[in-house]
Every structure is written in C-alpha cells, then in structure tokens.
C-alpha cells in the first residue's frame, strides 16, 4: 500500500503505508533515539505531531504491554525508513503495525528519512500531511494549509479525572499536562502517595489534597497555551515544594516571570548533554521539547539557571532562589533514554523533607482546631 507525506514546503515523500489507513496532519518532528520507539510514540508530549525516527529500522523488538508511556498514543503519524514487521524480543506481545492499526495511526515507511530530517533541521519543524489515499497533491496542499496546528493538546492528553496511586511516604500531587507514565513510576518507586490531577486543577483544589509537594508533568505544545496552569503555579509557589519537568519546567518559568519561545527543530532524542552549572558535571539526558525558556528573560526574576545544554547552551534547568522549587527541561524519568538523571526525583523528595524540617508545622489537630476556631469567631461576629 502506497503512502505519502507532504510537507508544508511542498516536498513530497512517497513510501509504503503501515498501521492505519486514511489521512492525518500535524507538525513533523524527528527523534534521534535508536531504541525506545514504543515509548516515543506513546509519549503524550508528541500529541498532534507526525514523528520521524532517524534510526532506520523500527519495530525490531515489537511492542510490549510494559513500555507504554500512556494508554493510547496521541501522535498523528509515524515515519520510518523501514518498518520491521517481525519482532524479536522475549517481551514482544504486539507488533508496531498492530499497535498503530489499533489506534488509528498512519505509518509510512521506505522513504528517505535522513533527507526528511535534513529538511527539518534546515527549515525547522513544519506542518505535514500523511495519506494512504490517492488524493491529488493540490488537494493535500489545500487541506494542509487549512488545518491549523493544534493548541489544545494539553487538554486532550491530560487525565479528565483525579486518581491516586497510593503509597506510604510523601504525598505528591502530580499535575498531568500529558504526563508520561515514567514520572508516576519514578514517584511510586520511591514510595510516594501520588494523586494525579487534571491539568486545569486550581490551586484551591490542590490545597485541599494536602500535598507534601507538587510535581508538574511534561506535556505537549506551547506552554503559553495553558495560562491557567501558570496562574495555579503562581498561587502555590512557596506554599509547597514544586518540581517541574519539561512543559512543567516551562510553566514554572512563566509563572516566575520568565519567557519561552519556540526552537527551530527542538530537542528530541536520548543523547542530549546537559551541564549542571554548580558542579560542572555533564549528564546525557532524554529530551523531547520544541519550546525553551529564554535565557535573557530569566534576568530580573527570582530564578537561577542550574543547567544548560552543553551544545546549544539553552536553559535546561532552573531553580527559585528563595522558594523550594526547581525544574528541568529534560526527562529524568527516561523511558526512553538514559537513567542518569533519576536522582532528581530523590532531590525533590529531599527538598520536601528539608522544607518540612525548616518550617515545622503545628500538629494537624492543632492546625485544624485553630482554623475551626477562626471560622467560629467569624460566625460569632
């Protein structure tokens, strides 16, 4: 079955279709990871995007129930040089083709993916349309220009209702902007009592959950498309320790007065070097973002840059100079990618413990009584 990919600039790639049939458009991006295609295509941060894998053979080890980053993928298309139909791995339960079919995702293979990558590198990411049909190119072009890029990906990918993943240690409210399962996995592994809340949860609602800390998740798209999240963070900043990842990092930066902008073709892959400025140490990190916090916008805020990308020097980590809050642009939960930065979760929990020690709270019953008394006094007035 023939499939085609048309880019905004008019470049047409003709290859073979796999997965679902039909037509679909989105922003075309590339990921340079060699392994981890299952995690990539199930990462909600790719919502609405057509993802190209630069490694040419995809599907080699199949799909396993264990490696999903979300239940149903949100990508709008999957582009590979060669789709390997027969997987070989002891955990393989499904094939890549089967997964894409099941979720209605169009795949295209046998195109010059390196050429596509070079075009994206050169011109920056752009819109594209995938089809397995026989439409005329002009028709596709029209369709492509008529379809705007999505702006509501966060709402689409976030959980609609609150749910918990019980644990017997710190209570963490994980705000889901399109969270990867990996974040929940890392918190749960550390015994945290995690409450996952929808992206539009307000500060007041979060307070009611009595968290020990707030984890802002990764997520798709432009942080400026989620202004309510910025407001929530501003309200809770200082009240609870906060740790932001990826989109969560950008939202945290916006909340503190910094600004963000779009990168030419983003960082997507598992080989990005990040330097921790305090120690001058470097880590290889997993990344997936198209936006970045602007360096010049940090000046004058209460933010301090803690990490930078060792290649393009963009901001990779921030912390609040006065309040217990920090964030990173990359993915300490890995999946896919190197596990080198998972220590950041320990750092977050450590921050929660220190904050508690430094601000000894009254016993809960005293607190409760005090507030009840306050309400009582008000009533008596």
Partner 1 sequence: MPRNNKLKKILVIGSGPIVIGQAAEFDYAGTQACQALKEEGYEVVLINSNPATIMTDTNMADKVYIEPITLDFVTQIIRQERPDGLLPTLGGQTGLNMAVELARAGVLERENVQLLGTQLTAIEKAEDRDLFRDLMRELEQPVPESVIVTTIEDAVDFSNEIGYPIIVRPAYTLGGTGGGICANETELREIVASGIRYSPISQCLIEKSIAGMKEVEYEVMRDANDNCIVVCNMENFDPVGVHTGDSIVVAPSQTLSDREYQMLRSASLKIIRALNIEGGCNVQFALDPFSFQYYVIEVNPRVSRSSALASKATGYPIAKMAAKIAVGYTLDEIVNPVTGQTYAMFEPTLDYIVSKIPRWPFDKFINANRKLGTQMKATGEVMAIGRTFEESIHKAVRSLEIGAHRIHLKDASELDEDTLRLRLQKPDDERMFLVAEAFRRGYQLQDIQDLTNIDWWFLDKIEGIVAFEAELRGASVLSKELLYQAKRKGFSDRSIAEIRREGNQSTYTNEFDIRAYRAELELKPVYKMVDTCAAEFEATTPYYYSTYEVENEVTESDKQKVLVLGSGPIRIGQGIEFDYSTVHAVWAIQKAGYEAVIINNNPETVSTDFSTSDRLYFEPLFFEDVMNVIEQEKPIGVIVQFGGQTAINLAAPLTKAGVRILGSSLESIDTAEDRKKFEALLRELNVMQPQGSTVTSVDEAVAVAQGLGYPVLVRPSYVLGGRAMEIVYSDEELLTYMVQAVKINPEHPVLIDRYMLGKEAEVDAICDGDTVLIPGIMEHVERAGVHSGDSIAVYPPQSISRELQQKMVDITIKIARGLNVIGLVNIQFVIFQDEVYVIEVNPRSSRTVPFLSKVTNIPMANLATQAILGTKLADLGYVEGLWPEDEFVSVKVPVFSFAKLRRVDPTLTPEMKSTGEVMGRDQQYAKALYKGLVGAGMRIPPTGSIIATVADKDKPEAIEILRGFYELGYNIIATGGTATALEEAGLRVKTVNKLSEGSPNILDLIRDGQAHFVVNTLTKGKTPERDGFRIRREAVENGVVCMTSLDTVRALLNMLQTINFSSRPMPVLAQK
Binding residues for L-glutamine: 45, 219, 221, 247, 250, 288, 290-291
Is 153 a binding residue for partner 1 by CB under 8 A? The answer is: no
27 is a catalytic site residue:
no
Q: Supply the minimum distance, in Å, between the C-beta of residue 321 and partner 1.
A: 25
350 binds partner 1 (CB under 8 A): no
Distance CA 377, CA 381 (A): 6
Q: Which residues 98-117 are close enough to bind partner 1 by CB under 8 A?
A: 111-115, 117
Which of 113/199 has CB closer to partner 1? 113
Q: Is 319 in the site for partner 1 (CB under 8 A)?
A: no
Paired residues of 303 in beta bridges: 320
60 near partner 1 (CB under 8 A): yes
Query: In angstroms, what is the minimal distance from the CB of 44 to partner 1?
Result: 17
What Å distances lie between residue 291 and 104, 204, 351, CA to CA? 28, 29, 27
By rule CB under 8 A, what string of x and - marks binding of each residue 284-313 to partner 1? x-------------------------xx--
281 makes contact with partner 1 (CB under 8 A): yes
Residues making up the annotated binding site are: 45, 219, 221, 247, 250, 288, 290-291
User: Is residue 67 near partner 1 by the rule CB under 8 A?
Assistant: yes
* 72 counts as binding partner 1 under rule CB under 8 A: no
- 188 touching partner 1, by CB under 8 A: no
Distance CA 324, CA 239 (A): 9
Kindly state whether residue 77 participates in binding partner 1, applying the rule CB under 8 A: no
Q: Are 271 and 289 in contact (CB under 8 A)?
A: no
Cβ atoms within 10 Å, residue 355 = 16
Q: Is 338 in the site for partner 1 (CB under 8 A)?
A: yes
Judged by beta carbon, residue 69 or residue 222, the one nearer partner 1 is 69
Which residues fall within 8 angstroms of residue 2, CB to CB, at 6 or more apart? 14, 15, 16, 17, 132
| Catalytic one of 246, 307, 316, 320 | 246
Which DSSP string corresponds to 64-131?
Answer: -GGG-SSSS---SEEE-SEE-SS---TT--B-HHHHHHHTT-EEEESS-HHHHHHHHHHH--EEEEEE
Long-range Cβ pairs for the range 185-194 (8 Å, 24+): 185/333, 185/335, 186/332, 186/333, 186/342, 186/345, 187/215, 187/345, 190/345, 190/346, 190/349, 191/167, 192/167, 192/349, 193/164, 193/165, 193/166, 193/167, 193/168, 193/169, 194/164, 194/165, 194/166, 194/167
Residue 65 binds to partner 1 (criterion: CB under 8 A): no
Check if 246 is active-site. Answer: yes
Check binding of 314 to partner 1 (CB under 8 A).
no
Catalytic annotation present for 331: yes
Chain contacts with partner 1 (rule: CB under 8 A): 30, 32-36, 38-39, 54-57, 60-61, 64, 66-67, 81-82, 84, 86-91, 111-115, 117-118, 121, 269-273, 275, 280-282, 284, 310-311, 334-340
What residues act catalytically? 246, 331, 333
């Amino acid at each position: 079955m023939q499939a085609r990919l048309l880019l905004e600039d008019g470049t047409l790639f003709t290859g073979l279709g796999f997965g679902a049939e039909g037509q679909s458009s989105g922003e075309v991006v590339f990921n340079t990871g060699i392994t981890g295609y299952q995690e990539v295509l199930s990462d909600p941060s790719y919502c609405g995007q057509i993802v190209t894998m630069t490694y040419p053979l995809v599907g080699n080890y199949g799909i396993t129930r264990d490696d999903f980053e979300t239940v149903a993928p949100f990508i709008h298309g999957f582009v590979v040089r060669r789709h390997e139909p027969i997987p070989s791995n002891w955990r393989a339960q499904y094939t890549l083709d089967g997964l894409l079919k099941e979720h209605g995702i169009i795949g295209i293979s046998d195109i010059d993916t390196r050429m596509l990558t070079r075009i994206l590198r050169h011109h920056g990411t752009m819109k594209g349309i995938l089809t397995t049909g026989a439409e005329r190119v002009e028709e596709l072009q029209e369709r492509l220009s008529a379809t705007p890029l999505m702006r509501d990906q966060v709402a689409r990918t976030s959980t609609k209702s609150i749910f918990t993943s019980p644990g017997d240690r710190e209570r963490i409210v994980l705000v889901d902007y399109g969270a990867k399962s990996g974040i929940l996995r890392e918190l749960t592994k550390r015994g945290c009592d995690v409450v996952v809340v929808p992206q539009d949860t307000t500060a007041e609602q979060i307070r009611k959950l009595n968290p020990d800390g707030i984890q802002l998740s990764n997520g798709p798209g432009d942080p400026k498309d989620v202004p309510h999240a910025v407001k929530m963070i501003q309200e809770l900043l200082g009240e609870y320790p906060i740790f932001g990842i990826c989109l969560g990092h950008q939202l945290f930066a916006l909340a503190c007065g910094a600004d963000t902008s779009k990168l030419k073709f983003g960082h997507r892959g598992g080989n990005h070097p990040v330097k921790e400025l305090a120690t001058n140490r470097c880590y290889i990190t997993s990344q997936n973002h198209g936006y970045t916090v602007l360096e010049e916008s940090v000046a004058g805020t209460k933010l301090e840059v803690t990490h930078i990308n060792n290649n393009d020097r963009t901001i990779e980590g921030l912390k609040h100079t006065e309040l217990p809050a920090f964030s990173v642009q990359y993915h300490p939960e890995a999946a896919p990618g190197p596990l080198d930065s998972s220590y950041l979760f320990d750092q977050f929990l450590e921050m929660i413990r220190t904050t508690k020690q430094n601000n000894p709270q009254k016993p809960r019953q005293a607190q409760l009584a005090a507030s009840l008394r306050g309400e009582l006094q008000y009533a008596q007035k």
